């Protein structure tokens, strides 16, 4: 190990010791009372802030946000270490083993491609096979836990991204649309089914009617995610751009309006909105 590598290791050790100090009896009262449950929203928040920082291109901001995310990993690991369940070293060892196991094309000296086989195809196939083997091994240790389909993605993930990742997994199993045109037909089909449910007015069972409308609305979103995926468009990025555009236009009409928007009539609002579209 070089001197530079040792310094990096020491910096990680220093972070671990700082967290231990913060959570000790002589540390910070706020840090001491945190649990794995109270930290959940912070983990999600920090992950999103890393993504936003990457989008900004600001290297200092990216470095800072990555540090905040790393802090969550060390903090959580220390909580579990106190419970004698596992340590940060166990976490690192687990991911090291997983990376080596899932990349036989890099770490396995005996790895070789079949004649005419594409390396990228082999990588994806091996990745899914190895993950499947891992799941089987885990299920042996937890026989009472229901087996999840291979396309399962955590419900904690943002909905649009979750749909995208589920569809990507299904694609690797061979289930996908032939092209974007086929996916677009599905969008129209789902919209027609949605309109059909909207046209019904089942006063006898409003809850069932609302559930069906919600289901069909979800199907439209899911089919739109599929269409975007086949066009190499991520739904979260596309929606964020549209939301940012709306925010910008809304700010424009707020600035140009002679009085609060709530006091304007529909015609005045429409005129300002069209003006904002011309200005953006």
Domains of the chain by start residue, with CATH:
3-102 (1.10.287.1080), 159-279 (1.10.287.1080)
- Given a cut of 80, whether residue 147 has pLDDT beyond it is no
Q: In angstroms, rounded to a whole number, what is the distance separating the alpha carbons of residues 22 and 143? A: 39
**In whole angstroms, how far apart are CA 89 and each of 63, 83, 163, 202, 226?**
23, 15, 33, 59, 40
Averaged confidence pLDDT in the chain? 88
Residue 114 DSSP symbol:
P
- Given a cut of 80, whether residue 144 has pLDDT beyond it is no
Cβ proximity of 86 and 80 under 8 Å: yes
Joined together, the tokens standing for residue 206 give: 């409003």
Query: What average pLDDT does range 57-81 have in this prediction?
Result: 96
Q: Which of 44-53, 207-216, 222-231 has the highest mean pLDDT?
A: 222-231
**Predicted confidence (pLDDT) per residue in 1-25, tens digit:** 666 655 556 789 999 999 999 999 9
* Spatial CA neighbour of 78 closest among 11, 29, 17: 17
Which residues, other chains included, contact 69 with Cβ-Cβ below 8 Å and sequence gap of 6+? Answer: 43, 46, 47, 49, 50
Sign of the alpha-carbon torsion through 70, 76, 80, 81: positive
Task: Please report, rounded to a whole number, the percentage of residues in the chain having pLDDT higher than 70.
Answer: 92
Per-residue pLDDT, 218:
97
**Of how many residues is the chain composed?**
280
Q: In angstroms, rounded to a whole number, what is the distance separating the alpha carbons of residues 277 and 252? A: 9
Query: What average pLDDT does range 27-55 have in this prediction?
Result: 92
Per-residue pLDDT, 136:
75
Q: In angstroms, rounded to a whole number, what is the distance separating the alpha carbons of residues 237 and 243? A: 10
Q: In angstroms, rounded to a whole number, what is the distance separating the alpha carbons of residues 9 and 3? A: 10
* Spatial CA neighbour of 129 closest among 95, 107, 102: 102
* Residues 88-104: b if buried by 16+ CB within 10 A, e if exposed: beebeeeeeeeeeebeb
Q: In angstroms, rounded to a whole number, what is the distance separating the alpha carbons of residues 196 and 199? A: 5
């Amino acid at each position: 190990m070089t001197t530079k590598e040792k310094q990096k290791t020491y910096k990680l050790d220093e972070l671990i010791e700082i967290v231990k100090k913060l959570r000790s009896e002589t540390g910070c009262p706020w840090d001491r009372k945190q649990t794995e449950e109270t930290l959940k929203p912070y983990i999600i928040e920090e992950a999103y802030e890393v993504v936003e920082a990457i989008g900004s291109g600001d290297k200092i901001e990216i470095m800072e946000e990555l540090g905040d995310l790393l802090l969550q990993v060390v903090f959580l690991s220390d909580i579990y270490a106190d419970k004698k369940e596992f340590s940060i070293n166990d976490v690192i060892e687990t991911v090291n083993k997983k990376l080596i196991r899932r990349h036989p094309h890099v770490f396995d000296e005996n790895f070789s491609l079949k004649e005419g086989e594409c390396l990228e195809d082999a990588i994806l196939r091996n990745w899914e096979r190895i993950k499947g083997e891992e799941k089987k091994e885990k299920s042996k240790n937890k026989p009472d836990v229901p087996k999840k389909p291979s396309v399962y993605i955590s419900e904690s993930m943002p909905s649009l991204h979750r749909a995208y990742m589920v569809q990507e997994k299904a694609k690797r199993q061979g289930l996908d649309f032939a092209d974007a045109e086929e996916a677009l037909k599905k969008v129209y089909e789902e919209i027609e089914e949605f309109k059909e449910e909207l046209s019904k007015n089942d006063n006898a069972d409003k809850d069932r009617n609302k559930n069906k409308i919600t289901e069909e609305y979800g199907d439209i979103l899911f089919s739109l995610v599929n269409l975007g995926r086949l066009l190499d468009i991520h739904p979260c990025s596309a929606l964020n751009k549209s939301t940012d555009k709306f925010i910008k236009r809304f700010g424009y009409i707020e600035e140009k309006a002679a009085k609060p928007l709530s006091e304007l009539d529909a015609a005045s609002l429409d005129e300002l909105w069209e003006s904002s579209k011309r200005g953006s």
